[in-house]
Amino acid sequence: MSAPAVLRSAAFAVVFAVAVLLGRATVMDGTSLSLVWPAAGVAVVWFAAQRSAGTVRLDLALLSVTTFVLNAVTGASPALAVCFVGANVLQVLVFGVLFARWCPRAWGAGGREPLTGVGQLMRLLAAAVVATGAGALLGPTAVWALSGTWSWVTTLVWMTRNTASILLLASAAFRVGCLLNARRARSGAAGGHEDVVAPVRLPRGWQRVELLALPVCAAGAYALVFVVYDGLPVAFPLIALAVWAALRFDTTVVLVLDVALGVAAVVLTLTGHGPFALIADDATRAIVVQLYVSMLAVVGLALAMSRDERDVLLASMALSTAASERLAVEAAALRAEAEARGELTAAVLESVDVGIVVADERGRLTMFNRTAQRWHGLDADTGLDPTQHAGRYDLYAADGRTPLSPEEVPLHRVLREGSVADAEIVLAPAGRPAITVVCSGRRMTRPDGSALGAVVVMADVSADRALRRDLEEARGQAGAQADRLQAAFDASLVGNVDLTLEGTVLRANPAAAAMLGRSPADLVGKHWAVHVHPDDRSVADLGRDVAGDLRLLHRDGGVVHTHVSTAVVRDAAGRALHLTTQVLDVSDRVAAEEGVRRQRDVSTRLLQALSDLGEGVLVEHDDQVTYANDALARLTGRGTASLLALPSSLLLVPEDEQAAWAARRTFVPGQVRAALPSVTALRHSGGTTVPVEVTCVPLPDAGGRATLTLVRDLSQQRRAQDALARSNEQLLEANRLKDDLVATLSHDLRQPLSTTTGFAELLLDDWQGLSEEDRRGHLTRIQKAGRWANDLLEDILTMAQLDAGPPLPRTARLHVPALVADVVDRLAVRAGSVDTTGVQDVTVLADRGHLEQVLTNLVGNAFKYGRPPVRVTARRRGDDVLLDVVDAGEGVPPEFVPHLFDRFARATTGTAAGQKGTGLGLFIARELVNANGGDLVYQPAGGGGSRFTLTLNAIPAPGGARAELSGAVELP
C-alpha cells in the first residue's frame, strides 16, 4: 500500500462526504426523501479507481466511518446508521463484482478500454440496478425493522435515485479515467503495444459554432419548459437535446450535457419550477425526476457509445492491418534467427561432453551427437526397429551384466512415461571399454499437445561409480578397524575413558572402572568430575589436551593416585568431537615418592638457597629430578612441580641433544669437581628450543649418584648473533640496490640529460639561423627528455618510499568505469585504440591515486610494448573485481616472465629490447596493488599479446542515479 494510494483514498472519502451532504440538501419539504443521491455514484467511482491500489480494507473502513458519522450527525440512530453503512458497502461491492464480471475489459472493472456500444451500457445499467436493489433490500428493510413501517415507494425512490447517480457519475468518471490512462500509456510506452481506444472527436469548423450554440439552446429550452410554460407536461421532449449532442459531438460532451441537464432538472424541481413540481406526491415526484435523468443519460449515451463502438472497430481493423505487416517482417527475422540458432545448436551438440540421443514419436532414432557416437561406436540407425535398440547398441542394466529389455530402454520410457531422471545403465559395445552412464530425458510435444519425439541426455559416471566402490571398501575396512580398536580398548590394562566435551562419560574399559571399584556400566552417563577428588577438580581441565597426576575417589571412599592424559579428538576440519583419557594407577609410585621426599626433606631445604642464583639449577638423584629452581622453570616454560614430576631430565632435552645432555655428567673417577661446560638445548613447553650452557657438579649421595647442574640461557647471545647476521644481509642487499640504482641513473638518466644539454646548446649557438619548425622540434625533444627524466625520478622516489615501508592506502569507493575513462583521457591515446566496452558497472574499495598510477602504467605499457587495439575489461567474480588490460602485441618473452615484477628488470629480447624504461613500473604497480589488498598477475593473451589482471576487493555498486551524479570515481 503506497502513500499516493492512501492519499487518494482519503481524497475520495472527502468527496464522498461532500456528496452525502449535497444529497441531504435535496430533501423535499416535509419529507425525509432526498431528490438525488450523488454519493452512490461517488462510492462506485471510488472503489473502481482504487481497484488495483491494494487499499480495499482502508477504503471499506473510510466508507463505513464516513457513512456512519454523517447519518448520525443528521439525526439517524446508531442502529439505523449501522444499517445504512451495510447498505452502502453491499451496494458498492455488488456493483464491483457484477461490473467486473460483465465488462471485464472496461476501465473501472480491471481493464483499460472505454465503455462502447449499447451492450456495455446496458450491462452497466443492469449492474447499477442490481446493486441498488441489493442496497435497497438492506436499507429500507432496516428502516422497517426499526420503525415498523414498510414503504415500497421509499424502496423505489432509493433504487431510482442511486441508479441514476451511478449511471451518470460512473459513466463520466470511467470515460475520463480511460482517456487519462490511454494518454499515460502513449507517453510512457513509445513504440510498444497501444490499446485501441475510441478517438476523441474534436469539433472542427462550423461544429465549434454548433457546440457553442448547444448550451445556449439547452438553457433556452429549459427556461421555456421549466419557467415560462412550467404548467405544461412537456419535459421529456427535452431529451432531443441529448440526441443532438450524441449525433454531433464526442461522448465526453454528451456526458457533460447529461449531467448539466439532470442537475438543472433537479434544482428547478426543488425550487418549485417545471412540470415535475406539479406532482403532489413527494415520492412520485422524486421517482419521475430520477427516471427523467436516467432516460436522458441512457438515450444520449446509447447513441454516443454506438458511434464509439463503430470507431473502435475501424481503429482495430487499421491496427490489425499494421500488425499483420509487422508480423510478416518479424516472421522473416525469426526465420533467419531460427536458422542461426539451428547452426549454433548443432555446434553445441557436437561439442558437449554428454551423450545426446533423439527419437521421433514412434521411437525411431533420429540423431546421435558426437559423444554418443563415440561411446556406442555407431551412429543413429534411423531405420532400426525400437525393440532392437538394446541389442544393437549393447545396453545393460546398472550391474553391467543384465541386458536391458526394450521396455527398460530410457528413450522408450520417456515416450511412455513422459520423463526419466537419473536412470543408470551401462554401455558395453564389443571391443570398447564399458561406460556407466546416468540418463535423464523428457518427451517433446508440439504446440497442439501431440507427441513430437523424445530426447535423452547421458552423463558418464564411470569414475564416480568406481570412487563409490572404493569408498564402500574403505568403509568396510574402517568398520573392521573400529571393531579391533574396541577390542583393544576393552582389553587394555591401562584405564581408558571417552568423555563428551562437557565431561560426561561415553564409555570406559574394565581397567578404568576397576580403579574406582566399579563396573563400566556404572560410569557411562555420569559426569567424570564426580569421581575426582574435590581438591583436584579445578586441576582436571576438560576441553583441551592435558596430562598430569590426579586423585580419584574409590567406591569404598579411598583415594586412588593416578596419572591422567587427556586429548581432544577432532574431525578433519579441526572441530572438537569428544575427549579421550588414559588413566594409569600410580598409587605405589606416589607412596614410594612420599617416602623419598621425607628422607630428602633436609636436602631440599638446603637446596632452597640455590633458588637465589641467577641461573637455572637442577638437582638429580639417579636421573630423578629432586630440585629445580624458578629460573629453570622459566627456561622450560613449566612449573616447578611439573619439573619435579618428570621421571627423567632427558624429557627436557630435544632428541638430537640428549647425547650431549648425558655427556655433561662425565667426571674423573674418584674426584668431586665440576665437568667442563658444554653447550646444548632444552625443550620449552611452547614447542621451541632454548640454547643453554650447562655445567654439572657431582654431589656425594648415599646409595646413588647425585648431581647439580647449572644452566645458563644463551638465547640473548644467539639473538644478538642472528641480528648481526641479518644486519649484514640487509647491508649486502642495500649495497646491491645501490649498485642497481647507480647503474640505472648512469645509463637511463644520462641520455635525457645529454639530449637536453645538446639541443639546448644547439639552440643557444644558432637560434637566429634555425627555422621556426627546427626550433619547435628541438624544444619538443628537450621537453620529452625532461619528461623522461622526471618519470625516472618519480619511479625511483616511489621505490624508495616502498623500501621505507608498505604504503598506507587512503581507501574509498571507486567507480571503475569512470576511473578507466579518466586514465584513457589522461593518456591522450588515439580515439578508438582503447576498447572499454567490456568494463562493467562495478565499484571497488581502494586508494584512487594508487589505482590511477597502476592503470596508467598498464595501459601505457600496452601501447609502449604491445600493439593496439588495447582492451580494458572489468567484471565481478564473487567478492572480487577482476580488471584486465589486454594488448595485441607479441607478449612477454617466456624466459622473462619469472622476472617480470622484479625491480630494475627489463627484457633483452622482443619489442622491449628497443624501448626506454627503468624496469620499475611493474614492480611499483604490484606493490601498490598489494598494499590495497589486491593482486596483479600476468598471463599471455589468447591469440598473442599480454594480459595483466588486477584483482581488487569489490563492494556493492551505488544506485544508478547516484553513480551518474558522482561523476567519476570516488563515492562517499
Cell of 644: 619435579
Using CA atoms, how far apart are residues 862 and 885, in angstroms rounded to an integer?
8
Lowest mean pLDDT, pick from 404-418, 511-525, 724-738, 761-775: 724-738
The mean pLDDT value for 17-43 works out to 76
Under DSSP, the state recorded for 237 is G
Q: For residue 194, give the nearest of 318, 328, 109, 304 by alpha carbon.
A: 318
Mean per-residue pLDDT, 24-36: 65
Q: How many CA atoms lie within 13 A of 174 on its CB side?
A: 32
Residue 960 pLDDT? 44
- 177 pLDDT band (50/70/90 cuts)? confident
Of the options 1.10.1760, 1.10.246, 1.10.10, 3.30.530, the CATH number for the domain spanning 3-188: 1.10.1760
Beta-carbon contacts of 22 under 8 Å, excluding residues fewer than 6 positions away, are 36, 38
Task: List the CATH code of the domain at 721-791.
Answer: 1.10.287.130
Domain ranges of the chain: 3-188, 206-308, 352-460, 492-590, 600-713, 721-791, 808-971
So what's the pLDDT on residue 970? Answer: 37
Q: According to the model, what pLDDT value does residue 962 have? A: 39
Q: What is the pLDDT of residue 380?
A: 85
Same fold, 3-188 and 352-460: no
Provide the pLDDT confidence category of residue 207 given band limits of 50, 70 and 90. confident
Q: C-alpha cell of 294? A: 436516467
Residue 302 · residue 121 · CB < 8 Å: yes
Given this model, what pLDDT does residue 849 score? 85
* Residue 263 CB neighbour total at 10 angstroms: 14
Which residues share a beta bridge with 435? 427
Q: Which three cell numbers stand for residue 168?
A: 451518470
Contact call for residues 316 and 196 (beta carbons, < 8 A): yes
pLDDT tens-digit series, residues 865-914:
888 889 999 999 999 999 999 998 888 888 888 888 887 766 665 565 55
Confidence category of residue 548, pLDDT binned at 50, 70, 90: confident
Give strand pairing partners of 696: 709
Percentage with pLDDT > 70 across the chain: 82
- Tell me the three cell numbers of residue 732: 649486502
Q: Of 205-214, 448-457, 920-929, which one has max mean pLDDT?
A: 448-457
If one compares 756 and 385, the residue with the highest pLDDT of the two is 385
Amino acid at 776: R
Residue whose entry in the numeric block shows the C-alpha cell 517433446: 444
pLDDT for position 808: 80
Q: How much is the mean pLDDT over the chain?
A: 80
Check whether domain 600-713 has CATH 3.50.50.60, yes or no = no
**What's the pLDDT score for residue 2?**
83
Kindly report whether the global pTM for this prediction surpasses the value 0.85: no
Q: Quick one: pLDDT at residue 442?
A: 92
- Judged by DSSP in three states, 760 sits in helix
Gap between the Cα atoms of 484 and 475, Å rounded:
14
Q: Phi, psi at residue 952, to the nearest 5°?
A: -135, 165
Rounded (5°) CA angle 412-413-415: 65
CATH architecture of the domain 492-590 equals 2-Layer Sandwich (3.30)
Question: Can you give the pLDDT at residue 196?
Answer: 47
Report the 10 Å Cβ neighbour count for 396: 17
Q: Dig out the grid coordinates for 245 from the structure.
A: 449532442
Q: Report, as an integer, the average pLDDT of 814-837.
A: 83
Which of 251-260, 288-297, 323-332, 785-794 bottoms out in mean pLDDT, i.e. has the lowest?
A: 785-794
Instruction: Please say if the pLDDT value at position 89 is more than 60.
Output: yes
Q: Crossing angle for the helix pair 56-73 and 78-102, nearest 10 degrees? A: 140
- The predicted model gives 714-720 an average pLDDT of 82
Q: Which CATH superfamily is domain 352-460 in?
A: PAS domain (3.30.450.20)
Residue 764 has pLDDT above 90, yes or no: no
For the ranges 194-203, 430-439, 523-532, the lowest mean pLDDT is seen at 194-203
pLDDT at 212 over 80: yes
User: Which grid coordinates are listed for 117?
Assistant: 456500444
782 has a pLDDT exceeding 80? no
pLDDT at 482: 81
3-class SS string, 16-28: HHHHHHHHHCCEC
Lookup result for grid cell 622450560:
636
Q: What CATH superfamily classification does 808-971 receive?
A: Histidine kinase-like ATPase, C-terminal domain (3.30.565.10)
End-to-end CA distance of the chain: give it in Å, rounded.
32
Q: Which range among 103-107, 300-304, 383-387, 808-812 shows the weakest confidence by mean pLDDT? A: 300-304
